[in-house]
Amino acid sequence: MAAAPDVKPEELLIDVVLRLISGAKHVAVGANSPIPAAAAFLAQHLGGGRPYVSLQQSAKHNLFADGGRELFDAAGQGRIDVFFLSGAQIDGQGNINLVAVGDYARPKARFPGSFGSAYLYFVVPRVILFRTEHSRRTLVSKVDFISAPGVSPPNVYRRGGPIALVTPLCHFAFDREQTRFRLESVHPGHSVEEVLDNTGFEFDRPAAVAMTPSPAPAMLRLLRDTIAPEIAALYPQFGARVFGIVPRAAE
């Protein structure tokens, strides 16, 4: 089954993330994350101003005057409900790699680094993993370097951790007791077999896997008419590609 013909893949993912952040009071979004940001702004519009949305790259939408230090302080105090993490690699236990692929001393590729990912992974109750490439290169059996662990030993206290992994193919839920992912739904136009072929880690799945529902027409109108211009101002390339909103400087 395919999505409604006028629903873009990015709009479907925004709707998936919107459902995952339902009920949050404060959602923080890192840099270069237009899909999570759009979902957060949708939730804020639907909630009459709640949740608060802290967008790290935006002066207008950043509640923190002292940058990352204030973000970490708020997270440690339990004042952030949802955050988003990604990685060059993600494995079946929710570990993420933001450092290097291959041997650490002689890596095939090196990346900017972990920043505060390990800390935020432990203290933010709902961490949504988000990856725009679903392949065996990115979703691996074991990450080459653990920037932030998805699970901890029983004697380690943590209130935070992954609740889901959202990709262009599907939505995985994370079972913290079983310390592994479960296939929650497959996006329209894709199949369980495609997910299996392109995923490097093992995961649980029900006998009948649900199809990810398409966004409701009213939600699409709200996204396109109200949220898209705001997102396009923050992410011009994304706005032009997905919503056809050309930056004024380019008109």
169 with 134: CB under 8 angstroms? Answer: yes
Residue scoring higher pLDDT (177 or 3): 177
Q: How far, rounded to the nearest angstrom, does the alpha carbon of residue 220 sit from its chain's CA centroid?
A: 20
What is the average per-residue pLDDT within 215-238? 95
What is the average per-residue pLDDT within 138-153? 97
128 with 81: CB under 8 angstroms? Answer: no
Taking 50 as the threshold, does the pLDDT of residue 10 lie above it? Answer: yes
Mean pLDDT rounded to a whole number for the chain:
93
- Please confirm whether the linkage preceding 9 is cis (ω < 30° from 0): no
CA distances from 166 to 28, 118, 202 (A): 17, 19, 16
Of 103, 148, 98, 107, the C-alpha closest to 124 is 148
* Separation of alpha carbons 148 and 78, rounded Å: 19
- Please confirm whether the linkage preceding 217 is cis (ω < 30° from 0): no
Instruction: State in Å, rounded, how far the first CA of the chain is from the last one.
Output: 38
Taking 70 as the threshold, does the pLDDT of residue 13 lie above it? Answer: yes
84 with 128: CB under 8 angstroms? Answer: yes
172 with 182: CB under 8 angstroms? Answer: yes
Domains of the chain: 9-250 (3.40.1080.10)
What is the average per-residue pLDDT within 193-219? 97
pLDDT in tens, 146-159: 999 999 999 999 99
- Angle, alpha carbons 86-91-94 (nearest 5°): 65
